[in-house]
Amino acid sequence: MKTKLYDKELGTITLQTNVRAKKYSLKVSNGAIVATMPPGGKIKTLTAFIEENREALMEALQKYPVKKAILDDSTDIQANTFKLHIFRTDRENFYMTLDKGILHIACPKETAFEEERVQQLLKAFIEKALRHEAKRILPSRLDELAKQHQFSYTSVTIRNTKSRWGSCSSKAHINLSLSLMLLPDPLINYVILHELCHTVEMNHSERFWQLMNRVTDNKALALRKELKAHRML
């Protein structure tokens, strides 16, 4: 048996019977109360037990509040080439479509967004879309900027890096993060130009920043500061 009880102070309380339970018990987890009774227990006794422990439950709820979901059906993200739209549906499975500049992610009606598995699934959907768009956009953007500013590089790879927007090896191989597709065009160009400049200057010396200023119309430091306000996937 499992049922729900709503209390103005304690919120929604789950009342349940557990065949292994030998006594009445209360548990607070993720901002919610679960009240358990053994087989043959009475709802009236269980609710009285809750009332006896109201003060302790209030303290526990403050100590263990609801974990806010990072991604849910209220999340508003505008990536470079698409807007995120997470919504609930009557279908029983999760699915995604990227259509006309909107990444639609459909979730079953009863989805608990605070669950870690749900967060990981939504993140995987977004990563897949960002990777698709990064491979479609970034190599040609890199080639265009390299030709415009007379740089040369050997190859380019798109990766889901966690700490760097991009990197350049001593052999002029450039790695670009798929998280670049979360940025506006000026910052994407800044990162790409940053790595192209490293094909000439492998450090961050004064000569490197002089080169960066030359290819960004003296906006290198301003763009660098703006980039720091953005987060990777």
Q: Which of 12, 35, 63 is the last residue of a domain?
A: 63
Q: Across the chain, what does the average pLDDT equal?
A: 94
The answer to whether 206 touches 169, Cβ cutoff 8 Å, is no
Which of 110-114, 183-187, 214-218, 227-231 comes out lowest in average pLDDT? 110-114
Euclidean distance between CA atoms 212 and 65, whole angstroms:
47
In a domain, 71, yes or no: no
pLDDT-derived band of residue 88, with 50, 70 and 90 as boundaries?
very high
The answer to whether 164 touches 233, Cβ cutoff 8 Å, is no
For Cα atoms 197, 201, 202, give the angle at the middle one, nearest 5 degrees. 105
Cα 37 from chain centroid?
A: 38
Is residue 69 over pLDDT 80? no
Q: Which of 47, 63, 79 is the last residue of a domain?
A: 63
In a domain, 92, yes or no: no
pLDDT by residue (tens digit) across 26-39? 999 878 899 999 99
The answer to whether 23 touches 73, Cβ cutoff 8 Å, is no
Euclidean distance between CA atoms 158 and 64, whole angstroms:
40
Query: Can you say whether the dihedral through the CA atoms of 120, 124, 127, 133 is positive or negative?
Result: negative
pLDDT-derived band of residue 115, with 50, 70 and 90 as boundaries?
confident
In a domain, 167, yes or no: yes
In a domain, 113, yes or no: no
In a domain, 69, yes or no: no
Euclidean distance between CA atoms 62 and 74, whole angstroms:
24
H/E stretch holding 83: strand 83-89
Q: What is the count of structural domains for the chain? A: 2
pLDDT-derived band of residue 17, with 50, 70 and 90 as boundaries?
very high
pLDDT of residue 29: 80
Euclidean distance between CA atoms 37 and 34, whole angstroms:
10
pLDDT-derived band of residue 116, with 50, 70 and 90 as boundaries?
confident
Domain carrying residue 13:
2-63
Domain of residue 167, CATH code:
3.30.2010.10
pLDDT-derived band of residue 2, with 50, 70 and 90 as boundaries?
confident
pLDDT of residue 18: 94
The predicted model scores a pTM of 0.71
Q: Which residues of 23-52 are buried (b: 16+ CB within 10 A; e: fewer)?
A: ebebebeebbbebbbeeebeeeebeebbee
In a domain, 233, yes or no: no
Q: Which of 63, 78, 110 is the last residue of a domain?
A: 63
In a domain, 100, yes or no: no
Q: What is the mean pLDDT of residues 9-17?
A: 92
Euclidean distance between CA atoms 202 and 150, whole angstroms:
17
**What type of residue is 46?**
L
pLDDT-derived band of residue 67, with 50, 70 and 90 as boundaries?
low
In a domain, 155, yes or no: yes
